[in-house]
Structure 1
Amino acid sequence: MVSKIFEQLLLEQIEIFRNSFSNVSKNLFYDEKQGKLIHPGEYGSYREAIVKDFLKFVVPLNLDISQGFIINPNDEISTQCDIVIYDARVTPLIQSESRQRFFPVETVCAIGEIKSVLSKQDFKNAINKLTNVKKQRENIGTKTIIRKVIPGDYNPEICPYDQLFTFIVCQKLNFDIQNIASEINQLYDINLPGRYKHNLILSLEDGLLLYYEPKERRPMMYPTLRGYECLKNRFMQPTDDGVMHYKLFATYLFMGVSQTTVLFPEMADYISDTDNRIWGFINLDEP
């Protein structure tokens, strides 16, 4: 069964997103006479805002969307992330005087990169940047679970839901992508565990990169599952209607961020020697 209401509203959002990202942004910030972008910073910010508006249609209301840096208790910090999807209910407002936001990795559900036209080297840089942020989620102290869809201990090495969900949205992959499903693994750093790889890559013009679950023969948004060290990559090109890869991206993004485990950000883990200093003020000999 199909909900005509939901599908029509989704198609409307896809059309707005596609037209704004591909055409309106270029008309506003591209000088045809000079053959170059004017105000490239504003151009990037405008496109990020377009993606955020589209994501709001599919991201659960209990999650918020922003941008900033990901931090963990081991003093690791990411480069700036274009999209940060996080649980606002348990995320403290950590920001600098210039209003740069910093998000404890425990409460972040997904991060995304927004790109224009990607060369092969730029594409390689983007996917490897996402792996570094995923690694941060394994370097935390206290693991108090707030939300977890599968019962059990927090273990991002085994459970894909315990790992960050990562994605890229771009206009076009500007290199030979005929065999990208079989070649993309070669663009990752050598001996990289499968769990650190991307979840979804949406190219508006080219299609959607995700994975293939062999047992049930269906697309999958996680690079690893129990019993599979790393699933095969799958590249889904645009269908005749030109919207199926958008629909799949929206569907799997919703599923991914809805299932990501959320942890309590123990602030004491982020402050040096907090426990020792507290106990130093307490005289245990007092009645």
Structure 2
Amino acid sequence: MDRERSKRLYVELLRGNFEKILSELDLVYRLTHSGEKGKEAEEILKNFLKEYLPKKYEVTTGFVHTDMGTSNQSDILLYDSSNYAPLYSGYANKIIHMSSLRAVIECTMKVNKKKIEEDNKKIENLKALFKKDIEIQESFSREPLAILFAYKSEGNILKNLSSLKDKNFDIVFCADGQLYILNHDTDEYTNNLVDNLTAGETLHGYTFTKQQHAFSFFYSYLIDYLNEITSEINKYKMVYEYSKSSIYIDYK
């Protein structure tokens, strides 16, 4: 393999992964039952993440628990399974402790203004549990990541994201070629792809699309952000958690 081709390998491999995901999503989109569409889209992304995330991250569906309460069900949870055990592991869902959470992903086949507002509120409820627990906050290097992943879009997504009073998604990706990253300093979403700049025929015999670049950047941002999120393991002790919980058991 020549040096230039070796440098292109990372991009070319991600391009191939996205084409596989997109072909599966296209097939799912033809299904007639909307509920099944959403579930299948979720499983497609989960399978990719299970294959291509570092093995210390477990990919699951379920709930997040703190002393302040338990979250609503999340489509996809990424948690540190090398240092933290789930509180409950069922056939379809897990309950994990907030200390282990690294990212939450909401999946949808089509994202529009209504869906953005609904899922943003859902993430707000989860983040509220994090913010209310001082012990949890102090043990984290930064908040767990919140992502919205969609197959198709409807309307002006950037405008709808910008109109949110409380912006809870860190990354918003749509497979039709849109990627928005929240700048926490300015509280604004930025479009990370410029039309006609990262797309077109290459000198190497294939075509790169804006959609392929969007996915590759999405995956790259995800990995980088995950690597930034750590929590102090010594501040989470199973014996301590059990002892705290047992205080609230009422005996006759």
Q: Matched residues in 2 for 1:26 and 1:99: separation?
A: 23
Matched letter for residue 222 of structure 2: L
Matched letter for residue 88 of structure 1: S
Match 2:147 to one of 154, 167, 173: 167
Matched letter for residue 252 of structure 1: Y
Q: CA deviation at 1:73?
A: 1.4
Q: CA deviation at 1:276?
A: 10
Q: Matched residues in 2 for 1:276 and 1:14: separation?
A: 49
Q: CA deviation at 1:140?
A: 3.1
Q: Matched residues in 1 for 2:38 and 2:108: separation?
A: 8
Q: CA deviation at 1:275?
A: 7.0
Task: After superposition, give the CA deviation of every residue in 1:96-124 in whole Å (9 maximum; x if it has no partner).
Answer: 76653111011110000000112311211
Q: Matched residues in 1 for 2:110 and 2:50: separation?
A: 24
Distance 1:8 1:142, change over 3 A: same
Distance 1:271 1:69, change over 3 A: farther
Q: Matched residues in 2 for 1:97 and 1:57: separation?
A: 21
Check if 1:253 corresponds to 2:222: yes
Matched letter for residue 104 of structure 1: H
Check if 1:121 corresponds to 2:93: no
Matched letter for residue 24 of structure 1: L
Classify the secondary structure of the residue corresponding to 1:115. Answer: strand
Q: Matched residues in 2 for 1:84 and 1:111: separation?
A: 5
User: For residues 276-287 of structure 1, what are the structure 2 equivalents within 5 Å?
Assistant: none
Name the residue aligned to 2:10.
Answer: 6
Structure 1: state its 5+ residue gaps: 31-36, 144-152, 212-222, 278-287
Distance 1:273 1:136, change over 3 A: closer
User: For residues 50-129 of structure 1, what are the structure 2 equivalents within 5 Å?
Assistant: 50-74=44-68, 76-95=69-88, 100-129=93-122
Q: CA deviation at 1:271?
A: 5.5
Name the residue aligned to 2:169.
Answer: 198
Structure number with higher helix proportion: 2
Name the residue aligned to 1:207.
Answer: 178
Percent identity over paired residues? 17
Classify the secondary structure of the residue corresponding to 2:115. Answer: helix
CA contact (8 A) 2:112 2:155 kept: yes
CA contact (8 A) 1:83 1:113 kept: yes
CA contact (8 A) 1:73 1:139 kept: no
Q: CA deviation at 1:270?
A: 5.9
Structure 2: state its 5+ residue gaps: 200-208
Task: After superposition, give the CA deviation of every residue in 1:26-52 in whole Å (9 maximum; x if it has no partner).
Answer: 24xx2xxxxxx23x4443332111111
Task: After superposition, give the CA deviation of every residue in 1:204-226 in whole Å (9 maximum; x if it has no partner).
Answer: 11401114xxxxxxxxxxx32xx
User: For residues 109-188 of structure 1, what are the structure 2 equivalents within 5 Å?
Assistant: 109-140=102-133, 142=135, 154=138, 161-177=141-157, 180=158, 184-188=161-165
Q: Matched residues in 1 for 2:27 and 2:248: separation?
A: 56
Distance 1:205 1:97, change over 3 A: closer
CA contact (8 A) 2:110 2:152 kept: yes
Q: TM-score, normalised by structure 1?
A: 0.69
Distance 1:254 1:96, change over 3 A: closer
Q: Matched residues in 2 for 1:84 and 1:132: separation?
A: 15
Q: Matched residues in 2 for 1:6 and 1:154: separation?
A: 36
Q: Which segments of structure 1 move beyond 6 Å, counting only runs of 4 or more?
A: none
Aligned-CA RMSD value: 2.9
Distance 1:11 1:56, change over 3 A: farther
Q: CA deviation at 1:249?
A: 0.4
Classify the secondary structure of the residue corresponding to 2:53. Answer: coil
Distance 1:41 1:270, change over 3 A: farther
Q: Matched residues in 2 for 1:97 and 1:244: separation?
A: 37
Q: CA deviation at 1:57?
A: 5.0
Classify the secondary structure of the residue corresponding to 1:187. Answer: coil
